[in-house]
Amino acid sequence: MIVPSLVAAGVLFISYLYRKLHYKRFRQYANFPQHPSSLLLGHLQVFDEFMKKLPPKAHADMAFAAMHEALGRPPVMLVDLRPVASPMVVVSNYEVAEQIVRTSDRFPYSPPKVPEIWKQLEHLAGPKSIISADGEEWKALRKHFNPGFAPSHLVKLLPSILDKAFLFLDHLDTYASTGEEFLLQRRATDLTFDIIGHVALDFDMDAQTAHPTEFMRRFSALILTYTTEHLDLPWWCTPWTELKRHWLTTWIRKTLREMIQQRYSEGRRGAGSRSILSMSLKDIDTLTPEIVDVTVDQLTSFLFAGHDTTSTLISYAFYELSRTPHALRAVRAELDQLFGPDSDPTAVRSGEELVHRMSYTMAVIKETLRLWPPGAASRMTKSGTGFTVTTPSTAGGGEFCLDGLLVYNVHSIIQRDPSVFGETANQFLPERWLNDTSKIPVGAWRGFERGPRNCIGQELATLEVRVLIALVARRYDFTKVGIGAPALDDDGKSEIGSNGQKKAVLGMYMTRKVTSKPVDGMKMKVKLA
């Protein structure tokens, strides 16, 4: 009697599990556009098939883009990656993306970030980072640190930014004289580390020297622990990596605490610097351990985000200029007009205020971020919130409840939408930002994301890149090596396509190293122009 009862119970239990799984795979989100799903694997197999068609180490966003294209470019697309990850909605339409980041009575500062993502990066950004904080906690942090990133304050730091940039030029001069290949991404990373170290901490990282500071070496080592293919694995799958992160983080946070105490004491004596740290401490009467810890979280966030995305922007800006002759000529003409025909970079020092009048250069920056966004935006709401978006009528219309779903605004898809940017959606065309821009909806460009949670450091990032282009563009000619290298004709000259750009043997693409990066580190050669 016991055996038949156990068999019957087992059959009922298996039947229950089957119905539960069948509901989750085929009925729970059946109204969303999606590829055919598997009962056991969901879209994992489909995703894997698209990834296998991509070049080595390609970013997962490229697979999402290919899946989106194959599905007919719907405004939203469900990707069910359970049990590996939460079910995801890939957002590819700017109108939907705007609905997700806007404020509402329920989410006055837009929906919350995805906790599972930022928990993985806690060693880098800290447990109470402005990047991952929500609600009133985020509002207080943003208000507290906004003055340090204000344009009126950053302009006072231009001389120190120029000093760091001239070290970058020294390296380019060496590469130009030797003809040696080098990784532009690496050099740009060292530069932006030097700048954010000075701007945020009033501290010399010495990242561009042969002997970086110990702080710089350890912070770099911490970042490297996040750049392997094991990034998404739980800590117990990579215990030695987690132990190394803990050891490095402990040392870094201890050093930052000491630095905060020192800057606070200097400020009380009236000797505070113009750094973001010093400005954040000037109105604090009592420096409590809690304030110190929260400040450490923001400093690690600024150091990471402040060097990471800007270095990628620099790399791709010079890559695109190197393969787009008309754009490089336009940049050089603008610099000649503003700073005079002498291409000596020291001319920029005497015309610092002219950096803010580089309209074509700013268009280059904006177009680079459109084609090569270093990141994307992800949000997630709990079940029962009723968070719903409406897709545009031009795409068939429809309402979709996003409760419990990881919502992923994929900038690399949104910003290459042919329904917005036309036949030139995949082309580097800075002029699109100088002519009649009324045809481009504001929300279609999301280089620093939009809404109240946009990037606090966007003014600093664009200032750095404008300064660097002003110093570099007229003095050097870059040539891509390896992936993305120009195709040559029978005479050994670069082939120019119908779009006015040099054809490439193999197109450049992004890989994932915490954020999106050039797959080969942007390998270049450089010579004096």
319-341: pLDDT as tens digits? 999 999 999 999 999 999 999 98
Q: Which CA distances in Å does 140 have to 114, 148, 267, 298?
A: 20, 14, 22, 12
Structural domain boundaries, residue 512 = 31-117+129-528
Q: Does 59 reside within a domain?
A: yes
* pLDDT the model gives residue 120: 84
CA-CA distance, 149 to 443, in Å (whole number)? Answer: 23
Q: Report the C-alpha gap between 114 and 259 in whole angstroms.
A: 31
Asked whether 480 and 523 are in contact (CB, 8 A), the reply is: yes
424/360 Cα distance (integer angstroms): 18
* DSSP designation for 133: -
Domain membership flag for residue 19 = no
- Tell me: is residue 455 an annotated ligand-binding position: yes
57 dihedral zone (left: phi>0; alpha: psi -120 to 50; beta): left
- Count how many domains the chain has: 1
> What single-letter amino acid sits at 517?
K
Instruction: Name residues whose C-beta falls within 8 Å of residue 458's C-beta, 6 or more positions apart in sequence.
Output: 447, 448
Q: For the domain that residue 228 is a member of, what is the CATH number?
A: 1.10.630.10
Choose between 194 and 126: higher pLDDT: 194
In a domain, 410, yes or no: yes
The mean-pLDDT minimum among 1-15, 53-67, 99-113, 207-221 falls in: 1-15
Is 50 a domain residue?
A: yes
8 A C-beta contact, residue 191 and residue 314: yes
Instruction: Give me the residue label for tokens 């029962």.
Output: 384
What is the per-residue DSSP string for 439-456? GS-GGG--TT--STTS-T
Q: Is the pLDDT of residue 231 over 80?
A: no
| Burial of 23 from C-beta contacts in 10 A (0-12 / 13-18 / 19+) | exposed
**In a domain? residue 487:** yes
Q: Say which residue the tokens 């740009």 belong to.
A: 188
Identify whether 440 is part of a domain.
Answer: yes
Determine the Cα–Cα distance for residues 364 and 353; give it in Å rounded to an integer: 19
Find the helix or strand (DSSP H, E) in which 216 lies.
Answer: helix 214-224
Whether pLDDT at 10 is above 80? no
pLDDT mean over 127-132? 92
Give 367-421 pLDDT, tens digit per residue: 999 999 998 999 998 888 899 999 998 877 899 999 999 999 999 999 999 999 9
Residue 11 lies in a domain: no
- In this prediction, residues 278-283 reach a mean pLDDT of 92
- 471 domain residue, yes or no: yes
Contact criterion met (CB below 8 Å) for 208 and 167? yes
Q: Poorest-confidence range of 137-151, 348-362, 488-502?
A: 348-362
Model confidence at 229: pLDDT above 70: no
